[in-house]
Amino acid sequence: MFRSFWRFFNFFLLFYFFLPTKILAAPEFATSYYSQYQVNKDASVSVEHEIRLRNLLANLYVSEYSITLGSNRLAEIWVSDNFGRLEHTVETGPNYTKILVKFKEKVVGKNKENRLKISYKTWDFAFLNGQVLEIGIPSVLKKEDLEDYQVNLVIPLAFGPPSFIQPKPNFEKQIGENKLYFFNKESLLKFSGISAAFGDLQIFNFKLTYHLDNPTNLMASMEIALPPDTAFQHVFYEYLNPAPFAVRVDEDGNWLASFKLKPKEKLIINASGSAELYLREKTELIEPALSATQKAKYLRPQKYWEVDNPEIKDLAEKLKTPQAIYDYLVKNLIYDYGRLEKNSYERLGALQALQNKSSLLCLEFSDLFVTLSRAAGIPARALEGYSYTSNPRLRPLSLNQDILHAWAEYYDERKNLWLPVDPTWGNTTGGLDFFSKLDLNHFVFVRHGLKSYLPLAAGSYTFSDEPEKKQKNVFIEFGQKKKHLIKAEISAQLPEFILGGLIFKEKIYLKNTGEAAFHKEKLSLRINQQLKEINLEVLPPWGTYQIPLTFKTDWLKTQTYLIHVNFNQQEKIYQIKSLPFYQFFWQKIRFLKLRDLLKLIKLTE
């Protein structure tokens, strides 16, 4: 659907320097490469290579040179050497460009250098995917006898901070409106090129379809899981039809929408909106710190999570930390692409995954991470959702017909924060770091903590009599930032008069009628001069919070109670009069007489 920096992995000859035609043995010369990749504001890349060919013998020289690049979209090619501009020939293939250069002057003598400079512009090394710039700079494939190898990567500050860079730059500095990242030979030779992404925000537009059916002869209430907010994502719902009669938040923070179905009824639910994904956690979206009781729940065994198994416990005791567990999975498990070709597969669970390391999918990677973490005393849970990838060989997806993905998260007790990790992609991308900081491609649909398999993620809801029907229920594309409706309604049905001497109990309702959840908001309830503040942790769209209204009245006095409800710069005022019993009943009699009179007038009409 979209291209990204991973495209360079699809090419074998990306940046291959052929040997000079007059040189017969590699030890007879030394080669150094100095390259600069300047990313432009349109995501094109201006490239400059300086290739230094140093003679190791006195009587040999380079007469011609060729370079093959993993891009067939080159423009503004310029070639020169110590003596000026050089003519060149260009050969273009399906995914490569070969540049052949013949030198005009002979550079003869031991330690004499021929400095070849090649510059061009390409559109194949950087891609702007939504709000994120992704970079893939290929490596030199001919690495023998490299005397030196250096790369400068120059990125406009307008693209935002790096979400990740591999390898780690040796140093970086700001130059005007750009940031320069420098890589030396030692860093570059450890990896197959430079991989990076820039930006601290990604936006996905989504359309989701859920299928519910009630096969019974009775009315039924059924729930679906809507993608929720997390510390790293904020979800906005522009459309949900039919509307649910309630949305609740479960202990894992999932948003569960309830629908009433008639006997034998089938219901199709459509949801659409957008999700903002953040590189760093948003303070207002962070869940409350776990209590000791809650932490204990995230250490328990579950189906597929055999925490108490001796083999699991022994390994967890050796690994001890989330980082060590992640590294173990990345280094020792093998992703089985063959299992993806099957129409269905059996979920192995953590123990079978540990005993069968060579045939695993993303769900087993996450199951094993959760299980080993819990066995090591680290609260952990699994995540399922959508993950963007343009190359499933490097970043595979493997859940159900909509090709979703599974990853995990552990609870950091120092930060009081759930931190996501993806050991599957850490394994399949050759060691990219998906532990220290997750990228902006993981959109959470559900969290599995208290149960390892429920609730179902969007894309998994099908009619019971059509389980094998192949229907796409998840549609995702990159989006743009926009304004969203933030709104809540306060409502109540309160009497005008009440009987004094009793404790009055009623409820006021706060309903989220906007597109986004409210987080960590304060609701104030003032009854005359008594003020009560309520901390509302989260109120999802279509969610309702019941505000208890309670006060004591007097038997003998007439009292007026002014009730002020304030929430999100909205105020609602109610008035209730408490009457002594004789006044209260007189009001009732008057009210009844007036009502009877109105009925009589209506009948005479």
Cα–Cα distance, 414 to 381 (Å, whole number): 18
What topology is assigned to 290-450 in CATH? C8orf32 fold (3.10.620)
Is a pLDDT exceeding 90 seen at residue 256?
yes
The per-residue pLDDT for range 518-548, each reduced to its tens digit, is: 999 999 999 999 999 999 999 999 999 999 9
The per-residue pLDDT for range 350-394, each reduced to its tens digit, is: 999 999 999 999 999 999 999 999 999 999 999 999 999 877 777
Cα–Cα distance, 358 to 525 (Å, whole number): 60
| The dihedral formed by the CA atoms of 452, 453, 458 and 461, expressed in degrees to the nearest 10 | -170
Rounded mean pLDDT of the chain?
88
pLDDT at 5: 31
The per-residue pLDDT for range 7-46, each reduced to its tens digit, is: 332 322 233 333 333 433 446 888 899 999 999 999 999 9
The angle formed by the CA atoms of residues 454, 426 and 477, to the nearest 5 degrees, is 65
Q: Can you spell out the DSSP letters for 208-224?
A: EEEEEE--SSS-EEEEE
Closest CA to 331 of 357, 308, 356, 352: 357
Cα–Cα distance, 284 to 14 (Å, whole number): 45
CATH C-level class of 488-584: mainly beta
Task: Name the segment(s) of the chain with CATH classification 3.10.620.30.
Answer: 290-450
pLDDT at 595: 52
Is a pLDDT exceeding 80 seen at residue 4?
no
Backbone CA torsion sign across 196, 199, 201, 205 = negative
pLDDT bucket at 79, cuts 50 / 70 / 90: very high
Task: Name the segment(s) of the chain with CATH classification 2.60.40.1730.
Answer: 5-199
pLDDT bucket at 497, cuts 50 / 70 / 90: confident
Give me the CATH code for the 5-199 domain, please. 2.60.40.1730
pLDDT bucket at 141, cuts 50 / 70 / 90: low
Higher pLDDT, 21 or 147: 147
The angle formed by the CA atoms of residues 73, 79 and 84, to the nearest 5 degrees, is 165
Name the percent of the chain lying above pLDDT 70: 89
pLDDT bucket at 59, cuts 50 / 70 / 90: confident
Q: Can you spell out the DSSP letters for 232-293?
A: TEEEEEEEEESPPSEEEE-TT--EEEEEEE-TT-EEEEEEEEEEEEESS--GGGPPPPPPHH
Cis status, amide bond into 455, omega within 30 of 0: yes
Rounded mean pLDDT of 303-322? 97
The angle formed by the CA atoms of residues 567, 568 and 571, to the nearest 5 degrees, is 50
pLDDT at 15: 36
pLDDT at 442: 95
Cα–Cα distance, 539 to 249 (Å, whole number): 8
Residue 258: count of CB within 10 angstroms of its CB: 14
pLDDT at 216: 94
Cα–Cα distance, 478 to 408 (Å, whole number): 23
Task: Name the segment(s) of the chain with CATH classification 2.60.40.10.
Answer: 488-584
The per-residue pLDDT for range 188-223, each reduced to its tens digit, is: 888 778 889 899 899 999 999 999 999 999 999 999
pLDDT at 383: 98
Is a pLDDT exceeding 70 seen at residue 337?
yes
SS3 for 372?
Answer: helix
